[in-house]
Amino acid sequence: MKATHESLLEVLEEAKALVLRPENDFAWSTWKDREAALAEIDGYLAKVKKGDLSSYSDLWMLFAPTGDLQEVSLSSGWAHEFLALASRFDDLKNA
């Protein structure tokens, strides 16, 4: 379980790094801007760091097809990176 917890933190940190890219376009997501996206991801990170997985279903939505993260990835040119990251998240769900 510890390895899964650490892997989840790594996936979220990578998602945060992708959202931090300056050329990102948030128009197709529900996030108003980079700060809104970071606030959401940082909230998940804080919970997971405390061992709180109560928002796991929200995380599933974050990495889901047509979720906010994918929408930003498609409009910002890093869709392939998103798919790889979402696949890693899916692997954690099934672990």
Alpha helices in 1-95 (DSSP H): 2-19, 34-49, 56-63, 68-76, 79-93
The model's pLDDT over 50-72, given as tens digits with 9 standing for 90+, comes to 989 888 888 999 999 999 999 99
Q: What is the Cα–Cα distance from 88 to 92, expressed in whole angstroms?
A: 6
4: pLDDT strictly greater than 90: no
Query: In this structure, are residues 71 and 29 in contact, taking their beta carbons and an 8 Å threshold?
Result: yes
The model's pLDDT over 15-48, given as tens digits with 9 standing for 90+, comes to 999 999 999 999 999 999 999 999 999 999 999 9
How many domains does the chain contain in total?
A: 1
Burial 11-25 (b: 16+ CB within 10 A, else e): bbebbbebbeeeebe
User: Residue 37: CA atoms inside 13 Å, Cβ hemisphere, count?
Assistant: 30
Q: At a CB cut-off of 8 Å and minimum separation 6, what does 86 contact?
A: 63, 64, 69, 70
Place of tokens 């392939």: 80
Token pair, residue 29, equals 């997501």
- Note down the domain range covering 35: 2-93
pTM: 0.92
